[in-house]
Amino acid sequence: MAATLADVAARAGVSSATVSRVLNGNYPVAESTRRRVMAAVADLDYVVNAHARALAAATSDVLGVVVNDISDPFFGVMAGAVQGESALDDLLAVICSTAGSPAEELRYIGLLLRQRVRAIVLTGGHQPDSAHFAELQALVRRAVAADTRVVLCGRPALPDTGAVALEFDDFRGAQALTRYLLSMGHRRIACITGPAGSSTTRARLAGHLAALAEAGVAADESLQVPGGFDRTSGFEGAQVLLDRAEQPTAIVAANDLVALGVLAAARERDIDVPGRLSVTGYDDISFAVDAYPALTTVRLPLIEAGRRAGRIAAGREAAAPGAVVSLRPELIVRDSVAAPRSG
């Protein structure tokens, strides 16, 4: 159906090798033939077949990006940065949404490997104790061995796999946030955590507890309710927390989306934020500033991480196999936190 190199060659009265040369422009070709060839290309609406090319040249022009959910701005922003940066090298990005399922993640990595992608960028969190974790490590190791760069973007390193990691230091971010809450006078601080078992949840919770510990404030497990990373988790988690006899003076949400849910729940109950309840987010997605009240949160360098991951994936920025970079989060103080009401 579609025209092939041979068709173009026939039409231009040259060999297919010559056509290939003018198309790739990496070989001397007489100007006159080049023009004849280009004319034939135009006449026939010829479009190279990337598969044939990939097969013959053993290279591919696509990279894979694995995210939990591309419609979540946290991932959308990172994926966009990866894509934008890699597009500079004419690379295409396959984007895969796992919905947070480690099994799906493995499946997608497998599919990407079949495609012989140049690189795979993995975002999101690990589930260190899941049965899938060992499989993941093995798969990544194999990928790297097969010359497929693997970049962990905003995700903990995968030791001994050769994957490059751009980690977010969630421990410090969460610690800074809780320290701030403490400094404002809060003592009864509740958390709506991310999914149990996720590395992100662990790191953020650990940072929170560390801040509590250093201030000599006892951690109350009944104030930790688990959830997901979505608005609904925040809404529901807040209901649970606000039904308690002794209400918290502050709620630390797993991320901004969760915080938005908390704010909605508070609004529904006519609880003034931050007057009667302080709320914090995490990530600083672009909407955090438009929430009401504007969210006090922790800014993660999503774009910087994505861009850099894109450059490393594209091979434009060097990175030693197994290198790990830690990216510092930044506390962003806005309006959703105030001192607790005395009494």
Partner DNA sequence: TTGTAAGCGTTATCAT
Partner DNA sequence: ATGATAACGCTTACAA
145 binds DNA (CB under 7 A): no
Count of residues of this chain found to bind a copy of itself when the rule CB under 8 A is applied:
54
What is the smallest separation between the CB atom of 298 and DNA, expressed in angstroms?
45
Pick between residue 46 and residue 282 the one whose CB is nearest to DNA. Answer: 46
What is the smallest separation between the CB atom of 154 and DNA, expressed in angstroms?
33
CA distance 305 to 67: 14
CA distance 178 to 146: 43
What is the smallest separation between the CB atom of 44 and DNA, expressed in angstroms?
10
Q: Binds 46, which of DNA, a copy of itself, none (CB < 5 to 8 A, cut-off by type)?
A: DNA
32 binds DNA (CB under 7 A): yes
Binding region for a copy of itself (CB under 8 A) out of 158-166, 205-213, 268-276, 285-293: 285-293
Three-state secondary structure call for residue 276: coil
The only residue of 10, 38, 44, 53 in contact with DNA, by rule CB under 7 A: 53
What is the smallest separation between the CB atom of 300 and DNA, expressed in angstroms?
39
Tokens, residue 47: 């479009």
Q: Which residues contact 92 (CB under 8 A, 6 or more apart)?
A: 61, 62, 63
42 binds DNA (CB under 7 A): no
Ordered alpha helix ranges (H), 184-318 = 199-214, 231-243, 256-268, 302-314
Of residues 146, 178, 171, the one with CA closest to residue 161:
146
Binding region for DNA (CB under 7 A) out of 51-59, 133-141, 204-212, 231-239: 51-59
What is the smallest separation between the CB atom of 181 and DNA, expressed in angstroms?
55
Pick between residue 37 and residue 262 the one whose CB is nearest to DNA. Answer: 37
C-alpha distance from residue 66 to each of 19, 63, 150, 171 (Å): 37, 10, 11, 23
Binding pattern for the stretch 249-268 against a copy of itself, x by CB under 8 A and - elsewhere: -----------x--xx----
CB 75 within 8 A of CB 285: no
CB 334 within 8 A of CB 296: yes
